[in-house]
Amino acid sequence: MATIKVKGMSCQHCVASVTKALNDLEGISDVKVDLEAGAATYNENSPVTIEAIKDAISRIGFEVVS
């Protein structure tokens, strides 16, 4: 499991958006987003660059801060 910090989430809609954005990346599965912690955890089934993850998150209006 890998974990990233996501800045800007404030509601369950945000959680759903981040979950979908990460699940849509090839190689990522089992995404769990914790609103209170401002974090997302996921399994990497094949290598995914942090740049691809940051890009997917920034496209929906949030920021990866770790």
Chain length of the chain: 66
pLDDT digits (tens, 9 = 90+) for 37-46: 999 999 999 9
* Rounded CA separation 55/52 (Å): 5
Please say whether the beta carbons of 26 and 46 come within 8 A. Answer: yes
pLDDT digits (tens, 9 = 90+) for 4-21: 999 999 999 999 999 999
The CATH fold assigned to 2-64 is Alpha-Beta Plaits (3.30.70)
pTM score of the predicted model: 0.94
Strands, DSSP E only, in 1-66? 2-7, 28-34, 39-44, 63-64
